[in-house]
Chains A and B, each alone.
Chain A
Amino acid sequence: MAITAPAPRPRPAAPPRVTLRSRRALPGALALAALVAVHVAAWIATEFSLPALAGGYEGMVGFMAEAIPPELNWSEVVLPGIQASLVTLATAIMGTTLSIPFALGLAVLAAHNATPKVAVYQAARSTLSFLRAVPDIVFALIFVTAVGLGPFPGVLAILFHNVGVMGKLWAESIEESDPGPVDALRTSGARRSQLVANAVLPAVTPQWVGLGLYRFEVNVRSSLVLGLVGAGGIGFLINGSIKLFRFDELFTYILIVLLMVIAVDQLSAAIRKRIT
C-alpha cells in the first residue's frame, strides 16, 4: 500500500511506570551503595574522628597562642618574607608562562578533534599523563641534579608539571568546543593547521586564558611547596619556621602568602572579566 494515515491511537492505559522506574532505580541504588561503602572505608582508613578533634582543641589553642601575635620584626622576618614571596611569585610566573607553548602544542595533538592521527593522539595523551603523574616536587629534585640549587629548578619543575595539567585542560576545552566553525572552514578547503589556528584557537582562547590563570594561581601555591626542596621562596622560610617551632614567624609568612594569593586572585579575576 501507499501512504497510510496513522489511526488515532487510543491512549495506552496505565503505563508500566513501576517496572520502568525500578529498572532505572536499581543501578542508581547500586551506585549509591558503592559510594557510601567507599566513604565508610575512607572514613576508617583516615581515622576520621570528630570527638578527637573536639577533645584536642587545647592543643590547637596552644598552637594558635604561640602563633599570635605574629612576629613582625621588619628586617628579620617581614622583609625577608616579602622578598622570598616575590621569588615564589617569579617562579610561578616563569613556570606558567614558559609552559604555554608546550601545553599548546600537546593540547592540539591530544584533542581527538584536532589531532592529525590516532597514534599522535595517543602519544600526546600519554605524554600529558606522564607529566601530570610526576609530582612537581619530583621534577624539582631531578632538575636540582641538572641545574643546581635555587629557584631555577623550581621553574623547570612547575613548567613540566604544568604542561601536563594545562595541556590536558586545554585539550579538553578543544574537544568541547563547537565543531561548527571548524566544519565551516574545512568546507572552504582549509588544512589542519589553518583550522587549528583560525577556528579552534580563537574559539577556545577565553577558556584557555581562564584555565591558564587558574593554573597560575595553583602554581603560586606549588612553588610554596617547592621551596621545601631548595627551590627557595617563601615555602623555604615556612618550612624552616616549622622545624624551629617559630610559629609566630610562621604566622607572618602565612599572612604574606595570604596577601599574595589574594592579589593573584584579584588580578586573574580582572583579566578574566576583560577577556570574555
Chain B
Amino acid sequence: MHDALDQLVGDRLDGQDPLDGGAPLTGVLERATHREGRRLVEVGVAQDDERVVAAELQDTPAIAQTPRDPLTHLHAAGEGDDLHRLVAQGRVEERLRVRAEHHQGVGGPAGGVDDVGQAVRCQRGALAYTTLAGALERELDCPVELTIVEDYSAEVLAMENDELDIAQFGPLGFVFASQRADAQPVASFADAGGELTTYKAGIWVPGDSPLQSIQQLRDRSLALAEPGSTSGDALPRLALAKAGLDPEQDVKLEYAGGHPEALLALTNGKVDAAEINTQQLKTSMEEGEFDPSQFPPDLGVRRRPQRPDHRPRQPRPRVQAACPAGADQPGSPGGRGGRRLPGRRGARPAGSGHPRDLRAAVRPRADPRAHRGGRLAMGVTVRTTSAAPAAGGGKQAPAGDAGPQLSIRGLTKAFGQRTVLRGVDLEVRRGECVTVLGANGSGKSTALRCVVGLAEPDEGYIRIGGRMVSGLRGAQLAAARREAAMVFQQIHLVRRRTALDNVCCGALGRLRGARSLTPLAFPGELRDEAMGCLDRVGLADRASDRVADLSGGQQQRVAVARALCQRASIILADEPVAALDPTAAEQVMELLRRLAHEEHLAVAVVLHQPALARRHSDRIVGLLGGRVTFNRAPAEVDDATVGALYTYTHEEPRVA
C-alpha cells in the first residue's frame, strides 16, 4: 500500500531534497480548488499561486484577532477576480459548496476532532474556514455552504462526483484531488506579510539519544502521524528512502494517529524518534506541552540539559531531517393488579348453596369473636387444639416445651393507605401443622413475610422460640430469624444449580467467608448434611440433578429440604402446592405434615384447597381482610365457614 504513496510523493518531489533546503512544496500542493458543473474550471491561475483571490481577507478582523497564527491569513492569488468571472459567466452553481478538512486545517494548526483537549485549536481552525467562506460569499455574491470534514478522502470523492465545488486540501490531498477529480489550484494561504506559508517536516530524537543521522534509524522505532499525512507520513518516509532505508523493512514505523500523538509518543519515551513538523512544534511550545530544551537543537531551538543519570553532558549533533512541507496540518415491585378478585374463587366450588346462605351461616359465629377487643383471641382456640397434636400420631413435644414455637400477636401492617393486616394473632407449636385459608389479598403472605423479615410489621409482636423478635439485634436477631424458614409457591430455587447445591444454600446463615460464595467451596460436612435433608424429603437420588430438570413437586420438596438445611424449627409454606398437580400436592402436604408430626417442627401452610387443609392439618385458621375469622380443628370447620372466606368481592369485609 505504501509503495504507492512513496512512489507518488517521490514523483512529485523528484529532484528536490526532502530534507531541508528543498524548494517549498507550497506552490504545487497547497491550494484551494474550484470545480463547476461536471467539468473542472480552468481558472487560469494554476501556475501563479502568488496572486490574490480575496485580498481583503488580510484585513478581516476575525483573522487579525488570531495573531498567534499567521497561517490563517489567506494569501492573495490570481488575477483578482477569477471567481467573479466564473459567476459572471454563469458557470458556478447557485450555491457554492466549500469543504475543508478538519485535520488539515486551512492554516490554523487545527487538531482534528479526535484530538483530546484541543477544542480551542479546533475552533481556531474552524474560524479560519468560516472566514474563508464568508470572504468567498462576499466576493462572489453567492451563498456559500461550508462543511468541515475530518479527512480529505471524502472531499476528493465528493468532488470527483460533482458534489463539491471548492475544497481546501493539504498537499497529499491535493495530489489525489488533481489526479482523480482534475482539481486545479486557485489560492494558497499566506502569512501576514503576504508570503506563502510553508512549514517543514522533521524527525526528532531525544537530546540524549545516540542517534545522529537518519541512517542510524535502522531498526529503531519512529512515530509517524497517520497514513497519508504529508509531513506526518509521506515526507519522513521519503527522507528514510533517500537515506537508503526501506521504510517498511528497516525502520519500525508506528502510526500514532496524529501529529500531537506522535510528539507525545516521543516525549513519553515510547519511541526512539518521531516526526514533528514545525507547526506542531510551534503549537506544542505555545501550549507548554513540549519543551524543546529537552531535545536536541533544531530550527534554532536550544539544546536540552542532559539528564544526570544518563550519558555525559555533551552537545550533540541532532538527527534532524527537516523537509519543507506544504500544508498538511498538525494537530491535528408492585404488579399485583393481575390477581383474581377475592371471593371469585372458592365460593362456587365450595358452596352447595348461594353465597348469601353461606354468609348467613357464618355471621353468628364470627361476630362474637370479632367483637372481643376487635380482634380474635387465638390463645383460647390454640389451647384446645394444641392439646391434641396427636392427629398424626407423631412424636410428642419434649418436656419443657413451654409455649408455642411461633407466636404472632396483634400483627398490623399497612402498605401506604391500604391496611393489609388488622391485628392478626397466630400461634404454631412444635409438632403441629397449621393451615391458613383465605382469599387472595387477605394478607396471608404478608403475615408470613413479617415473620421471616421480608416485611416490617407496623404493630404487634412476633415471638420465635419464646423470644421477642423486635427486641433482638445483630447476631441474636439473625439467629432467631434462622429458626423460621419459608417455602414459596414459586419455589425460588436457583434453577441452574443442582438440587444439592440449592439445599446447601439453606445453611448460608451460619456459614462465613469465601467458602460460602460458591458451591464448589462449600465444606464437605455441609454437603453431607444437605444430602441428609434431601433424603428426608425423599430426593437423595436426584441430588446432582439441576433443579430445572426436576418436576414441580420435586422442586418444592427440594425447597423444603433447603429449609431443613437451615435447621429451622419453624417452616412457613406460602401456597406451596398451588402450582402442583394433585398427586404432587398430596406428596408435599404429606411431607410437611410428617415434618411437624415426626420431626417435631412447627409448620404453618397457606393453602387454597380446603380439602387438603382438612386432611393434613391439625388446625385451620381462616383469614379474611387482614383479620382471623376462625381458628379451630379441621373437624370443626364446615364448608360454610370456609366458603365465607371466599365470598366477598371486596378486599375489606364490611364489618361493623
Contact = CB atoms under 8 A, between A and B. Distances in A.
Interface of A: 1-6, 56, 58-59, 62-63, 76-77, 137-138, 140-142, 144-150, 178-181, 183-191, 193-194, 197-199, 202-203, 205-206, 228-230, 236-237, 239-246, 249
Contacts of B491: 180
Question: Top 9 A-B pairs ranked by shortest CB distance?
Answer: A189-B509, A148-B270, A243-B228, A59-B161, A229-B257, A190-B508, A180-B492, A240-B227, A184-B492
Interface string B391-424: 0000000000000000000000000000000000
B508 A59 contact: no
B1 A230 contact: no
Given A187-B486, A188-B562, A241-B1, A4 B496 contact: no
A245 B494 contact: no
A144 B2 CA distance: 23
Given A144-B257, A180-B488, A194 B1 contact: no
B485 interface: yes
Contacts, number: 189
A245 B157 CA distance: 9
B271 interface: yes
B255 interface: yes
Given A184-B559, A188-B562, A198-B518, 11 more contacts: A2-B363, A6-B649, A138-B116, A145-B261, A150-B254, A188-B509, A190-B505, A191-B508, A198-B508, A240-B1, A245-B180
Interface in B450-468: 452-454
B508 A180 contact: no
Interface stretch (B84-92, B476-484, B580-588): B476-484
A185 B153 CA distance: 61
Please indicate which of the listed interface residues A1, A58, A239 has the most CB atoms of chain B within 10 Å of its own CB: A239
26 contacts: A2-B367, A4-B654, A6-B648, A59-B160, A59-B161, A62-B160, A76-B1, A77-B1, A138-B114, A145-B265, A147-B270, A148-B270, A183-B488, A184-B493, A184-B562, A187-B452, A188-B506, A189-B566, A193-B517, A197-B516, A198-B519, A236-B227, A240-B2, A243-B226, A244-B5, A245-B176
A58 B161 contact: yes
Contacts of B509: 188-190
Nearest to A194: B508
Chain A interface mostly helix, strand, loop or mixed? helix
Contacts of B454: 183, 186-187
Given A189-B482, A244-B5, A245-B176, A184 B268 contact: no
B505 A180 contact: no
B161 A148 contact: no
A194 B517 contact: yes
B484 A149 contact: no
A243 B222 CA distance: 21
Interface of B: 1-2, 4-5, 114-116, 151-153, 156-157, 160-163, 172, 176, 180, 223, 226-228, 254-258, 261, 264-265, 268, 270-271, 333, 355-356, 359, 362-363, 367, 452-454, 478, 481-482, 484-486, 488, 490-497, 505-511, 516-519, 559, 562-563, 566, 648-650, 653-656
Nearest to A246: B1
Contacts of B160: 59, 62
A228 B257 contact: yes
Contacts of B116: 138, 141-142
A269 B117 CA distance: 41
A76 B160 CA distance: 28
A146 B256 CA distance: 12
B520 to A, nearest CB: 11
A239 B227 contact: yes
Nearest to A150: B254
Contacts of B482: 188-189
A83 to B, nearest CB: 14
A149 B180 contact: no
